[in-house]
Structure 1
Amino acid sequence: MFTTIHRWGNSQAVRLPKGILETASLRENDRVEITAEYDRIIIRKATKKHLTIEERFEGYNGDYRCKEADTGGPVGNEEW
């Protein structure tokens, strides 16, 4: 099957036929991972779940204290 790359705003786009999407078990709005290898573009269904902001901060109680880290003494011309 052949298709053409078209302009879409400032980007380029390829229209994916329904049959290809069905074969790959993909639907509209599915998250996908896109990689390029040599002369190929590979589109896979995303395996990592996209976390919402609420899920990212789940368990965070707002109490965060930054701790100082000792990186050792000055080296070379690092004297302050």
Structure 2
Amino acid sequence: MYTTIQKWGNSQAVRIPKAILEMLEIGENDKVEMKVHDGNLVIIPVKKHKTLKERIAEYEGDYQCGEWDTGKPKGKEEF
């Protein structure tokens, strides 16, 4: 896919087609990292921080909560 560098205010801009944004699962106002590698411009999506609610919603394992032994008290711990 080809595009053109265009003037945007005092800067230059490249428009990223919607299809590419969808493949990368990024959109407007998402953060990206830009760097030059071997003479090529590389744009890397910055991973989004997931909330605890989002992480729990993705969990598909079988978790059984339980107690664990932390050893004998070594100080002035209270029970």
Q: Return the alpha-carbon distance in structure 2 between the equivalents of residues 40 and 32 of structure 1.
A: 16
Higher helix share: 2
- In structure 2, the partner of 1:32 is 32
Report how far residue 46 of structure 1 moved.
Answer: 1.6
Of all paired residues, the percent bearing the same amino acid is 49
Q: Secondary structure at the match of 1:19?
A: helix
Per-residue CA deviation, residues 51-78 of structure 1 (Å, 9 max, x unaligned), is: xxxxxxxxxxxxxxxxxxxxxxxxxxxx
Report how far residue 48 of structure 1 moved.
Answer: 8.0
Report how far residue 37 of structure 1 moved.
Answer: 1.4
Alignment of 1:33-72 (within 5 A): 33-47=33-47
Normalised to the residue count of structure 2, the TM-score between the two structures is 0.55
Tell me which stretches of 4 or more aligned residues in structure 1 moved more than 3 Å: none
Q: Secondary structure at the match of 2:21?
A: helix
- In structure 1, the partner of 2:63 is none
Count of aligned positions = 49
Aligned-residue RMSD, C-alpha? 1.7
Q: Return the alpha-carbon distance in structure 2 between the equivalents of residues 25 and 33 of structure 1.
A: 15
Normalised to the residue count of structure 1, the TM-score between the two structures is 0.55
What are the ranges of 5 or more consecutive residues in structure 2 without an aligned counterpart?
50-79
